[in-house]
Amino acid sequence: MTHSAITISRILHAGYVFECDGTRIAFDTIFENPFSHNCHAFPAVRFDLDLVRRERFDAVFISHFHDDHCSLDSVDLLDRATPIYLYCIFDELFDMLRSLGFTHVHPLRLNAAVTVGPFQVTPREAMDADVDSMFQVQAAGLNVLNVVDSWIDDGTLAQLVREGPWDMVLWPFQTMREIEVLAPSRCAPAPPSLPDEWITQLQALAPRFIVPSSCQFEQEPWSWYNRAFFPVSYALFTAQVGAAVPSAQVVRMNPSVSLRLNAASLTPAPALAWVIPVGEQDLDYVYQGNATPPSTAQIAAHFPALTAQQQARVEHYCRVTFPAQYGEVEAGCDYFDVARVWQLSLFDHAGEVRRWRYLLAPGGAALCADAAAPLGWSTDIPAAKLYAALESGEALTSMYMRINDTRFDAATERALDAADVIDDPLIRCLFSSAFGAYQAAQLRRLLARQSGA
């Protein structure tokens, strides 16, 4: 007996191609390695961009605006007639896609299905609905949940259980310590286990197949993040999920791998020709807890010296722009409701440091003398990375920022217990004051190239 089927192919990270009865749709299309500036595919792959340009998808779905899911450098490779469906609450990103020449750009609404040939794709609500979405994909009588990067709350879980039974779940299997690595001296190593709620949720969904999806990348070869970022390996995920959900089969899909799913089985299918594996593919991440990080001065030595013009831009930001921005961006905790002295340390390529001190008050910030005390917060960063954030919207995960890597006076230490690392003054002012800086920088470069400038 022949069963109707969906062929599912892995691109990279949370990117997939789904095919059924001649209709092909794609999700979170990233055709770059490294992506998001310094995320190197692990295992390694490369892309045949000429073949990518020849691909024709009946629709592309983008789950959210983060640059490892919506990169204009990748989207630029798509045919301009491709319908693009994007989940994003900010109009600017839709305008950017149209500026590249795409003629069919559509916003996604939660729980509102989109039909493309035999496919019905329904965005479902993630825990952070202002940012993320996940996708329910139905075709050929099959039901697939692509969780993308999302965390699932109880209300959505109950809804998803009602939408079952599930044939396959693509699950973002690696917890990321993207915040903990910013303050390694203040964070305990992650436990060698999956979050309890993951097990409960997978048991409730009870799919036939579970694919550990998303994440799985490395950073620069010298980066200490390569042993401190991902506590959950393929082996750990497979062992713990296999024991907790024995009725499901855990299936690894490396980039380029294709599988044919039908009501009776899951079998290999021809790989994507334009995703080219490089070297051994069945690699696994080796997590070493809080491996001793190098100093920010040592990290800064890996980046080039700033030109005089670039250095001037960084100094103008520190002297003028930051104090003007600070009062406009509120903290999410009470720690900065009282005046604090903040020290920003910028390290150049030679390891030399330039320190800036500010008196931060709820209404604004002002430079102050180095002797101002007591110090209430500290931030260290390579000067080249601050420039990259200003110039190209580089993401927090590649900036090698180090926060509060010192001991303060007793009263400050007690108050810091209630503070949140991401309330760091520099993080707030770089990433809370404007939307889509990374994509905006890409767009400027792409349009300049198109015009021959």
Q: Pick the most confident of 189-193, 208-212, 330-334, 335-339.
A: 208-212
Domain 296-451, CATH class in plain words: alpha beta
Q: Is 34 helix (H, G, I), strand (E, B) or coil?
A: coil
- Kind and range of the H or E run holding 249: strand 249-250
Six token digits for residue 443:
């767009």
What mean pLDDT comes out for the span 95-102? 97
Q: Give the fold, CATH level 3, of 5-277.
A: Metallo-beta-lactamase; Chain A (3.60.15)
pLDDT tens column, 105-138: 999 999 999 999 999 999 999 999 999 999 999 9
Q: What's the pLDDT band for 384 if we cut at 50, 70, 90?
A: very high
The half-sphere exposure of 430 on its side-chain side, counting CA atoms within 13 A, is 25
pLDDT at 66 over 70: yes
pLDDT in tens, 396-418: 889 999 999 999 999 999 999 88
pLDDT over 60 at 258, yes or no: yes
pTM for the full model?
A: 0.93
Instruction: Please name the residue that has the structure tokens 């993308």.
Output: 148
pLDDT of residue 91: 95
For residue 45, what are the β-bridge partners? Answer: 277
Residue 433: the pLDDT is 67
Q: Is the pLDDT of residue 291 over 90?
A: no
The CB-side HSE value for 148 (13 A sphere, CA atoms) comes to: 28
Does 24 score more than 80 pLDDT?
Answer: yes
Q: How confident is the model at residue 3 (pLDDT cuts 50, 70, 90)?
A: low
> What is residue 443's predicted lDDT score, i.e. its pLDDT?
93
Radius of gyration of the chain measured on its C-alpha atoms = 23
Identify the CA nearest to 263 among candidates 165, 127, 157: 165
123 preceded by cis ω (within 30°)? Answer: no
At 237, the pLDDT band (50, 70, 90 cuts) reads: very high
Distances in Å between the Cα of 413 and the Cα atoms of 228, 373, 404, 418 are: 25, 14, 10, 10
Scan for tokens 């009501």, then name that residue: 263
The band of 2, judged by pLDDT with boundaries at 50, 70 and 90, is: low
- State the pLDDT confidence band at 1, using cuts at 50, 70 and 90: very low
Structure tokens at 228: 């401190």
Do the Cβ atoms of 34 and 68 come closer than 8 Å? Answer: no
The closest of 55, 44, 37, 38 to 12, measured between CA atoms, is: 44
- Kind of pairing, strands 59-62 and 45-47? unpaired
Q: What 3-state class would DSSP assign to 345?
A: strand
Instruction: Give me the long-range contacts of 195-202 (CB less than 8 A, separation at least 24).
Output: 197/152, 198/171, 198/241, 199/240, 199/241, 199/244, 199/245, 201/152, 201/157, 202/169, 202/171, 202/241, 202/244, 202/245, 202/248
Q: Is residue 337 predicted with pLDDT exceeding 50?
A: yes
Q: Widest CA span of the chain, in angstroms? A: 81
Contact by Cβ (8 Å): 425, 366: no
Average pLDDT score over residue span 60-77? 96
- Report which listed range, 341-345, 363-367, 392-396, is most confident: 341-345
Q: Is the peptide bond before 374 cis (omega within 30 degrees of 0)?
A: yes
The per-residue pLDDT of the chain, averaged, comes to 94
Please state the separation of Cα 112 from the chain's center in Å: 25
The pLDDT of 55-65, averaged and rounded, is 97
Give residue 431's pLDDT. Answer: 87
Residue of 163, 172, 184 lying closest to 241 (CA atoms): 172
Q: Where are the domains of the chain?
A: 5-277, 296-451
Q: Is 35 exposed, middle or buried (CB count within 10 Å of its CB: 0-12, 13-18, 19+)?
A: buried
In the predicted model, is pLDDT for residue 333 greater than 80? yes
